[in-house]
Structure 1
Amino acid sequence: MLRNKLLTLLVSLAMSLLACEQAFARLHDDVMASGYIRIGVYKNFPPYSFMQEGEAAGVDIEIAREIADAFDLDLELHWITPDENLEDDLRNNVWKGHYLDKDEDNPLAMKQLADVMLRVPYDKAYAYKQDSLGYLINEQVVMKAPYQQERWQVAYDADRLDAVRTVAVFQYEPIGVEIDSVPAFYFTSSMGGRMRNMTHHFATPAKAFEAMQSGEVAAVMAMQSEIDWLLHQADNPRYRLAENGFPTMGRQTWDIGIAIRQTDRQLGYAVESVLDRLIRSGEMDAIFERYGLRYTKPEFYQVAEEAAGTD
């Protein structure tokens, strides 16, 4: 009797785990048949994805809506709280899930994962990165479909600085950066550390920009779209874009794409076709313009256009 009860319990647990797996790992046909698509976007990340007057807003929200509309599906947003690194974000939101992130209706099951995740750096070297044993770190996901090129940008207070033609000025004038970011590392370590004491750290680029408005710092460095958004919101000619150029910084531009599970490349191809249409038609440019942002096409499109121009 006890043996039968244990067998029944094991079968029940196995079925629950199977149901859990099927609940959050959907394939292309499952998505299309369900009537909705679940797209992962970062939480509180203006101008890409954030809440504004109780509604989801931002560039990536607009792109997610375009993807859902293209397939005649409802959009369900999967809000992502960033973890320590991108590998954690991909694991927790695309291919495995976090063991603490439970479904309220089924305590034994984890919440459904994103079918597609936006704003993933598109870099082949990172995509095929190996661990110390030679195994692919990101073998469970596919990163593809670049839809934007991002870069670093400085904005400055024209009442304090005539221009920012070189970062050497920040040996003498304070600059605000987001804590634990690439700009934070750059300004505290480059030029032999001579800019370290003039580097002020803030929780977000928005907080750094507020510090510039209050006079605490003379400039701010963040991603181009973040700076464009903050300048657009401020709407004050006093705050201006600096001339880019960051010696010894290394890579200063990178493409942004999507991530999908490696078991569902079909869905990735379908989403890629939608993004390609948005880029080629100019609709992507219009989405960025609505938020006061400059849009830069990914490297693939830039190279293709340059090649076409030389024919």
Structure 2
Amino acid sequence: MYENFPPYSYKGDDGRVKGIDVDIGKAIANELGVQAGFRLFLADESVGDDLRNMVWKGHYLAGAPADVMMHVPYDAGFANENDKVAFLQPYYKELIAFAINTYRVRSAMNLEVFTKETIGVETASLADAYLLGAYNGGLRENVKHYSSILDAAKAMVDKDISAIMGNRGELEYTLGQYDHDFVITKLPTPGLTIDGWELGPAVNASNVKLAERLNEIVGELKTSGKIEAIFSSYGISYKTTDSSQMIIKANQLSATK
């Protein structure tokens, strides 16, 4: 699981690993009848690198691969590029959203407001790349960069910026810690081809039996409402997915009932 990635996987003040992906991992382990153990790691340059290090090959510093990696993009094209990995059915759909400080911005119908008001993004994120090029670069001077959504949220609380563009789940969780007049919404994003993506677990494609059983368990946890309850416990609006298939070995789909 990714390190320093609230609300999905992170260490609390007590040093214990916690988060949405952690709780889903515990639920999966419970259905398997095993004890869950967690390994947090820092993201590499790409998700493909993360899958190599954590799922099918290992890393000389981190050791052997883990049994399961959480929070992996579920996409047929991406899976075809990573055919050593089985991509299990997704448990959540992440969306791009905007958090608006209504004290600074009374209404925002489109991005033009940010030609005058400042907006924060996490450095090197999809939101960062998009805003720097939006309106032919007309927003560039008002885009402020932060190392994390948490840091951007603190800046908005301090009224240093008027808004944040980022992943809705992170925005809801982080800004939910503050008692302020913030609105999380969707704004038109012309030219942005991806404004949402499905996320799920991934395992080594060579372990077909494990992959099929885990895919079945994820489906059961979705149907029972357990995964939605986990998201709700962190104050996150749950966006489910209809996908129930596992993508394994060069885009060969295997449905489990």
The Cα of 1:155 is off from its aligned counterpart by: 0.5
For 2:124, the aligned partner's letter is: D
Deviates more, 1:117-126 or 1:273-282: 273-282
Contact 1:149 1:299 in 2 (8 A): no
Q: Between Structure 1 and Structure 2, whose CA radius of gyration is higher?
A: 1
Identity %: 32
2:105 is aligned with 1:145? no
Contact 2:89 2:243 in 1 (8 A): no
What is the aligned partner in structure 2 of residue 118 from structure 1? 70
Q: How does 1:26-41 map to 2 (within 5 A)?
A: 41=1
What is the aligned partner in structure 1 of residue 232 from structure 2? 289
Contact 1:174 1:200 in 2 (8 A): yes
The correspondence for 1:68, drawn from 1, 18, 29, is: 29
2:124 is aligned with 1:172? no
The Cα of 1:179 is off from its aligned counterpart by: 0.4
2:138 is aligned with 1:194? yes
RMSD after superposition? 1.3
Matches of 2:39 and 2:65 in 1, distance apart? 8
Matches of 2:18 and 2:221 in 1, distance apart? 18
Matches of 1:84 and 1:172 in 2, distance apart? 33
Contact 2:57 2:64 in 1 (8 A): no
Matches of 1:235 and 1:49 in 2, distance apart? 24
2:76 is aligned with 1:159? no
Contact 1:255 1:299 in 2 (8 A): no
2:234 is aligned with 1:274? no
Contact 1:176 1:201 in 2 (8 A): yes
The correspondence for 2:11, drawn from 40, 45, 51, is: 51
The correspondence for 2:207, drawn from 250, 264, 268, is: 264
The Cα of 1:260 is off from its aligned counterpart by: 0.8
- Between the two proteins, the alignment pairs up a number of residues equal to 243
For 1:94, the aligned partner's letter is: V
Matches of 1:279 and 1:245 in 2, distance apart? 30
Runs of 4 or more off by more than 2 Å in structure 1? Answer: 242-245
Matches of 1:114 and 1:244 in 2, distance apart? 38
Unaligned runs of 5+ in 2: 245-257
The Cα of 1:163 is off from its aligned counterpart by: 2.2
SS of alignment partner, residue 294 of structure 1: coil
Q: How does 1:175-254 map to 2 (within 5 A)?
A: 175-236=119-180, 238-254=181-197
Contact 1:156 1:240 in 2 (8 A): yes
What is the aligned partner in structure 1 of residue 39 from structure 2? 78
SS of alignment partner, residue 234 of structure 1: coil
SS of alignment partner, residue 190 of structure 1: helix
What is the aligned partner in structure 1 of residue 49 from structure 2? 88
The Cα of 1:52 is off from its aligned counterpart by: 1.3
Matches of 2:79 and 2:93 in 1, distance apart? 17
The Cα of 1:183 is off from its aligned counterpart by: 0.5
The Cα of 1:169 is off from its aligned counterpart by: 1.1
Matches of 2:47 and 2:154 in 1, distance apart? 28
Matches of 1:42 and 1:204 in 2, distance apart? 14
Matches of 2:111 and 2:32 in 1, distance apart? 47
SS of alignment partner, residue 152 of structure 1: strand
Unaligned runs of 5+ in 1: 1-40, 102-110, 130-137, 302-311
The Cα of 1:143 is off from its aligned counterpart by: 1.5
